[in-house]
């Protein structure tokens, strides 16, 4: 299954996906909002004729600022193919995916792995139970379906045609190593810790702001207090990421 086939129907060509149009309309709306408000970063990696996109997806939750790692692997099974479609582009390459977003981890990781769609090199980023115990309550049918972090990453890639051309990939990628995966792809335990940490941080920020609000004396007279109106503006332009947090901006 290539990336376009996945975006069209993760269940596979010809399969019926109930509520598909509603799901896509909702995801596309949320994707546009996320890109505009928080932006998306990425790093391209190559290994022989395989291409990996490490995409950083921010949380949609306005009360947190944590992010998730999504990796999309492009590869071909038949290495002897010489047709033009794979010489100049990776549009026709098959894909495998990985995400440490909780909605993927605890609902779809098991199903994707069972159907050969999970990147095996990153399986150890999950707790053992994730891939060994079926998610009966969350996904009783053990089906491969749309999941927001994977969908957002794939849509981001196809929305910029350059990212699927080999000429662009050759000059805007780095060599994939085990060290990169080890240092830059977080495991699920780390993600859960950062989610909790972000909640606490936000809670402290809200409490701090509440203390600066106008105070009242017993006689109900207002007391003027200093207020700060500074806002940290987020650059919504998307860009690429480099290992160890360095960011390379790009215009779309």
The pLDDT tens digits for 67-120 are: 999 999 999 988 777 777 788 999 999 999 999 999 999 999 999 999 999 999
158 in a structural domain: yes
Segment 171-195 shows an average pLDDT of: 96
Identify whether 228 is part of a domain: no
15 neighbors 23 (Cβ within 8 angstroms)? no
Q: How many domains does the chain have?
A: 1
| Any domain includes 224 | no
| 221 lies in some domain | no
Q: In 3D, which of 212, 209, 213 has the Cα closest to residue 201?
A: 209
Residue whose structure tokens are 């098959």: 94
Domain holding 244, by residue range, is 3-10+26-199+236-249
Inside any domain, residue 157: yes
Band of the pLDDT at 8, cuts 50, 70, 90?
very high
Distance in angstroms (rounded) separating the CA atoms of residues 249 and 252: 10
What confidence score (pLDDT) does residue 111 get? 98
Q: Is residue 75 part of a domain?
A: yes
Lowest mean pLDDT among 26-35, 190-199, 208-217: 208-217
Backbone angles phi, psi at 222, to 5 degrees: -75, 145
Rounded to the nearest integer, the mean pLDDT of the chain is 86
Do the domain assignments include residue 217? Answer: no
pLDDT range class, residue 252, cuts 50, 70, 90: very low
Torsion sign (Cα): 124, 101, 243, 29: positive
* Per-residue pLDDT at 11 exceeds 80: yes
161-169 contacts at long range (C-beta below 8 A, 24 or more positions apart)? 163/44, 163/53, 164/3, 164/89, 164/90, 164/91, 165/88, 165/89, 165/90, 166/87, 166/88, 166/89, 166/90, 167/88, 169/44, 169/46, 169/51, 169/90
d(CA 240, CA 221): 53
pLDDT of 13 reads 87
Beta strands 239-241 and 41-47: pairing type?
Answer: parallel
Query: Is 53 part of any domain?
Result: yes
């Amino acid at each position: 299954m290539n990336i376009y086939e996945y975006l069209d129907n993760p269940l596979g060509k010809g399969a019926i996906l109930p509520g598909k149009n509603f799901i896509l309309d909702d995801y596309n709306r949320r994707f546009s909002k996320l890109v505009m408000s928080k932006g998306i970063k990425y790093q391209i990696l190559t290994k022989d004729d395989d291409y990996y996109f490490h995409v950083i997806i921010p949380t949609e939750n306005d009360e947190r600022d944590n992010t998730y790692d999504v990796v999309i692997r492009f590869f071909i099974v038949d290495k002897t193919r010489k047709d033009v479609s794979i010489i100049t582009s990776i549009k026709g390459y098959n894909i495998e995916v990985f995400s440490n977003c909780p909605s993927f981890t605890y609902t779809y990781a098991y199903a994707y792995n069972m159907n050969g769609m999970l990147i095996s090199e990153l399986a150890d980023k999950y707790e053992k139970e994730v891939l060994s115990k079926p998610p009966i309550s969350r996904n009783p049918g053990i089906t491969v379906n749309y999941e927001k972090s994977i969908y957002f990453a794939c849509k981001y890639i196809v929305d910029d045609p350059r990212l699927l051309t080999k000429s662009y990939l050759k000059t805007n990628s780095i060599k994939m190593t085990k060290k990169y995966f080890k240092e830059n792809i977080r495991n699920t335990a780390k993600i859960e810790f950062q989610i909790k940490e972000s909640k606490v941080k936000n809670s402290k920020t809200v409490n701090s702001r509440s203390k600066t609000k106008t105070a009242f004396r017993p006689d109900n007279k207002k007391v003027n207090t200093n207020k700060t109106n500074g806002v940290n503006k987020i650059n919504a332009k998307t860009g690429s990421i480099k290992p160890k947090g360095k960011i390379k901006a790009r215009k779309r």
